[in-house]
Amino acid sequence: MTEILEIWGGHPLCGTVKIPSAKNSVLPLLAASVLCQEKVCLEKVPDLSDVQVSLALLRELGVSARQSGDRVLITPGRQLKSSLSTEMMHKMRASVLFLAPVLSRMGSVDASLPGGCKLGARPIDIHLDGLEKMGASIHWHEERLYLRAPHGLQGAEYTLRCPSVGATETLLLAAVCARGTTILHGAAREPEITDLAKFLGVCGGRITGAGTETIRVEGVPSLFGATYTPIADRIVAATVACACAAAGGCVTMQDVRAELFAPVLDVLEKAGCNIRREEERVTIERRDLLHGVGLVETGTYPEFPTDAAPLLAAALLQANGESCIQDTIFPKRFACAEGFGAMGARVRLQDAALYINSGAITHGAMTCAQDLRGGAALAIAALAATGKTEIRDAFYIKRGYADLKSLFRQLGGKMRMFKK
């Protein structure tokens, strides 16, 4: 049995959608809640499969975690377990974010390597190296990782080899309740990191500099609870914007600030879309043919986000003129190129660069999602193509979109999801 997303393309998208809280903010906040001694309530949380995995990880640790509509309520236990099952660790990359909070709170943690989308090698060496600098001992036994810090973690000055989002979050989570001061150099600057620091601050953490390359953390003995609404999902917003650019029409996105996904909007504007940026609201309109945009390179924030690379590619399949999207973060970002080709697109994959030639008229096809954003990119391409497209293994898409079918249906897209 696989989940199939079926799409009938060729209909412009029109209307208004609300952008939910960001997956990449919610997941670290759920891991951070392990450090809180009081109740945590997160609001506007989308019902994603990755959120379900995080809740299952919390329950494995002995934390009570329940959903009520789009709220998640977490009640800490007094004594937590310190072991994370291989099964849950393998289900997503963000499971690695549980290591530091459990280690900090319990003095030890054992787990296996995290799973996640196959975008190329995704080591966790920076996470582990930083934790080691903060006093953790690390050893491996039969593919399980054992971290120990029986006397607690110690603040340290540490330079990240590259600005990894996950490693910056791990080290923030390790530092917030460590003894003394931690200074992180070369930190990632993504808005989700700023959001994590803000949440930790609301819970009593003492963090300055999040959103810059240097973050300073004064360790505190423990954290309180909080009620918190994470920031909007800039990648869901980019998905809606790219879909409107691909299929044509006019769509307003509410509850999202344009600065959060400015590089995506800038490229879509260059391709010929009209964009209206208002406070907490962005409108995109595409009436005429799109133009090719030449070279777009992804990078760390505030550059063009890697997660939006396949989404933009799907829109640019409709452009007149050439484009090339070069991903500098992950070597296998464009597994969706095969599906684009099956739809009649003239694309060529060379290493981590996708070349898109103009002049192709795309049509529906049988395709298969191979990762989360690539699956969403196939859906965007299908919305603009003529005829019917089937996307197999659509469960990947549920990792980052609570209900993609309903999201696009409310804009006039024709989609259904079924199992076969």
The nearer residue to ligand UD1, 7 or 308, going by C-beta atoms, is: 308
CA distances 193 to 47, 155, 165, 197, 317, Å, are 21, 19, 7, 6, 32
| Residue among 272, 314, 263 nearest 293 (CA) | 272
CA 119 to chain centre: 13
The nearer residue to ligand UD1, 272 or 400, going by C-beta atoms, is: 400
Q: What is the C-alpha to C-alpha distance for residues 344 and 328, in angstroms, rounded to an integer?
A: 26
List interacting residues with ligand UD1 (CB under 6 A).
24, 27, 93-94, 121-127, 162, 164-167, 188, 192, 306-307, 329-330
| Shortest Å distance, C-beta 95 to ligand UD1 | 10
- Is 368 a catalytic site residue? no
Query: Which residues 6+ apart lie within 8 Å of 69 measured at CB?
Result: none
The nearer residue to ligand UD1, 13 or 128, going by C-beta atoms, is: 128
| Shortest Å distance, C-beta 188 to ligand UD1 | 6
| Shortest Å distance, C-beta 92 to ligand UD1 | 8
| Residue among 212, 208, 143 nearest 182 (CA) | 208
The nearer residue to ligand UD1, 84 or 188, going by C-beta atoms, is: 188
| Residue among 346, 348, 375 nearest 359 (CA) | 346
14, 41, 117, 244: the catalytic one is 117
Q: What is the C-alpha to C-alpha distance for residues 314 and 322, in angstroms, rounded to an integer?
A: 13
| Shortest Å distance, C-beta 372 to ligand UD1 | 8
CA 386 to chain centre: 30
The nearer residue to ligand UD1, 249 or 334, going by C-beta atoms, is: 334
| Shortest Å distance, C-beta 388 to ligand UD1 | 30
The nearer residue to ligand UD1, 264 or 290, going by C-beta atoms, is: 264
Q: What's the token pair of residue 405?
A: 């079918």
Name the amino acid, one letter, at 149. Answer: A
Q: Which residue is nearest to ligand UD1 (CB)?
A: 166
Name the amino acid, one letter, at 143. Answer: E
| Shortest Å distance, C-beta 143 to ligand UD1 | 18
Q: What is the C-alpha to C-alpha distance for residues 8 and 217, in angstroms, rounded to an integer?
A: 51
Indicate the Cα dihedral angle 233, 236, 240, 245, nearest 10°. 100
Q: What residues are labeled active site? A: 117
